[in-house]
Chain A
Amino acid sequence: MKRFRAFVVKEFRHMLRDPRTMLILFAIPVIQLLLFGYVISTEIKNAHIAILDNSNDEITQKITNKLLASDYFILDSRLSSIKEVEPAFKKGIIKEVIVFEEGFGRKLLQENKASMQILTDASDPNLANLLDIYTRSIVSAYQQELSKSTLKSGLINVEFRMFYNEELKSAFLFVPGTMALILMLISALMTSVSIAREKELGTMEVLLVSPLRPIQIILGKVVPYMTLAFVDMMAIILIGHFVFGVPIRGSSFLLIGTGTLFIMLALTLGILISTVSKTQQVAMLISMVGLMLPTILLSGFIFPIENMPKVLQAFSFVLPPRWFLNTIKDIMLKGAGFFDIWPNLLVMVGMLIFFITLSVKKFKIRLE
């Protein structure tokens, strides 16, 4: 135990004394998160919209005025038929079309129920999402106003359809995505590089000749990075929640538990990489190409898995970040509980056991 503690202390010293490591560990996660956050949540101003008003009564007029009174929208054109919607989008200027059904005002006042449609150009998914949110909030504000003045609880049924990218599911993807990316970066990349450094600088030779057992060396490497990855995870969750307003609808314990499981998984991947790479550069390259790129591109972080070719979809099943992303999205956004996500957790535990067994077996007690 004393040996193990000495090893962990040594690891912490390496980390704290290397400015580059500190930068990767603490500056990059925050910068990355803020960057992703602000790129996605930039305020929308003056988006061009078109309106197809099949009713043209007092209420639709009022809603239209409310929409245009906000700084968000500029009326580009009024359409007269649903057939004009597609060509209008294709010109590329109009980002949103609002459709009021026939007899909107009358239905709302008499039947307490009226429908409108929001159509968005989701070739820019995040913009589409924001436009939708803004429009809805203005409509619902009007609805409240109306029910106060008329003492009637009219319900405006807002139908929503995204064009070109119907599968887009959430605007809050970036926080879970960044979390996956950063935990992968710290856990896998940093561990693999730090073990490879011992090999490259020849200190592994001395460690091997010592009575330290492989498992002690591995755990000694893992524990410090695990601690830091945990700190980073908490920071990302807090920033995501309080700065960007990403909801945490499910249990926080479940969220943190899932995160910890993913950290361990990423760490074992890092160890596995280090057992096959002799130098820091090789370790870095394998981590980057083998782990970071798939995390960014194939886990559903940026590109929806559903839109990928079948081959890549199948491939994404073996990627730990995919399962992680899926799970925490469910917990944070949908409020899923343990019984909803346990199959995902089971898959991750299975992967963890597999990679641990593999890396302990591959860890060499001798030089090659």
Chain B
Amino acid sequence: MYGEVRALDNVSFEISEGELFGFIGPDGAGKSSLFRILTSLLLATSGKATLCGFDTEKDFKNIRNITGYMPGRFSLYSDLSVEENLEFFATVFGTSIKENYDLIHDVYCQIEPFKTRLAGKLSGGMKQKLALSCALIHKPRVLILDEPTTGVDAVSRKEFWELLKGLKSKGITIIVSTPYMDEAQLCDRVALIQHGKILAIDKPSEITKSYERQLFGISSENIHKLLVDLRVYPGVLHAYAFGQTIHYTGKDTTENLDNLWSYLKECGHARLEINPIEPGIEDVFIDLMQNEKLSVEQ
């Protein structure tokens, strides 16, 4: 709870051991609050959470020994060097870099050449790798990463997810949150979260399958005008820009495409293309968000 705002509302889920589980949702959806409850940093106003059988309220001491937590913003000491940071966290958790080196090797070897550099002077991607190393150094059973790839360039993001896959193969349960829909595909299972509520929870492939209607990708010479025209088309359910195409869904699943085609032609669109496409996580998300909104309004 932030003041009177309910950050999380009636959330219930279960994550199996060894799973790579993702919470996908926009900023302010409640992901960070959820993670803070899981790491025993916040108390839920009601309800119960357990991590590896430990209650987050009563057994917080146990929880703090078995979890590796990486907060949403960079939370290491900028005025300490890479190595000093790692050493500090190793000692705090009662271990040493040497002892668990094999676990962090894949991550740490990428930043090891810069180990004498101050952490504050690292690039965004390297900072995240250092933070991951620090969260891993005590061989946690559960790794909780709050938006580890936010503000990181595309190449580093890809590398980061590769690292997570490697860690998963070592048996560590990983719970990660991200605002990037494309990263959902990389998780074993995902929960779509919005306004403190979980909209859907399943494997990414199952989630995209749950999209009931046919989705079309429409493009023309003037994308902007196309979007405006589609939004006022009587049969429209969703229409939104997605890169250089418009994703369009009609209200009626058996809708005659010819009507749409001639409507757009009448509007004067040249080089018009309409193709049926497979929905992605983002499409499902938008659909679920709309439904949510409708049900709230009703």
Alpha-carbon distance between A163 and B64 when the two chains are bound, in angstroms: 67
**B60 A365 Cβ-Cβ under 8 A:** yes
CB-CB < 8 A to B92: which residues of A? 3, 6-7, 207, 210-212
Instruction: Flag whether B76 is at the interface (Cβ < 8 A).
Output: yes
A190 to chain B, nearest CB (A): 15
Output the nearest chain B residue to A6 by Cβ-Cβ distance. B91
B97 to chain A, nearest CB (A): 12
B156 to chain A, nearest CB (A): 20
**B77 A366 Cβ-Cβ under 8 A:** no
A24 to chain B, nearest CB (A): 16
**A210 B64 Cβ-Cβ under 8 A:** yes
Instruction: Flag whether B221 is at the interface (Cβ < 8 A).
Output: no
Interface size on B, residues (CB 8 A): 30
**B69 A209 Cβ-Cβ under 8 A:** yes
B165 to chain A, nearest CB (A): 24
**B39 A209 Cβ-Cβ under 8 A:** yes
Which of these, B42, B84, B91, contacts A366 with CB under 8 Å? B42
**B61 A2 Cβ-Cβ under 8 A:** no
Output the nearest chain A residue to B39 by Cβ-Cβ distance. A209
CB-CB < 8 A to A207: which residues of B? 92
**B87 A6 Cβ-Cβ under 8 A:** yes
Output the nearest chain B residue to A17 by Cβ-Cβ distance. B79
CB-CB < 8 A to A365: which residues of B? 60
Given contacts A3-B91, A3-B94, A13-B84, whether A211 and B61 have CB atoms under 8 Å apart is yes
Instruction: Flag whether A203 is at the interface (Cβ < 8 A).
Output: yes
Instruction: Flag whether A206 is at the interface (Cβ < 8 A).
Output: yes
Alpha-carbon distance between A88 and B60 when the two chains are bound, in angstroms: 77
Instruction: Flag whether A14 is at the interface (Cβ < 8 A).
Output: yes
B243 to chain A, nearest CB (A): 34
CB-CB < 8 A to A10: which residues of B? 77, 80, 84, 88
Alpha-carbon distance between A210 and B90 when the two chains are bound, in angstroms: 10
Instruction: Flag whether B261 is at the interface (Cβ < 8 A).
Output: no
**B41 A366 Cβ-Cβ under 8 A:** yes
B159 to chain A, nearest CB (A): 23
Q: What residues of chain A have their CB less than 8 Å away from a CB belonging to chain B?
A: 2-3, 5-7, 9-10, 13-14, 17-18, 201-203, 205-212, 365-367
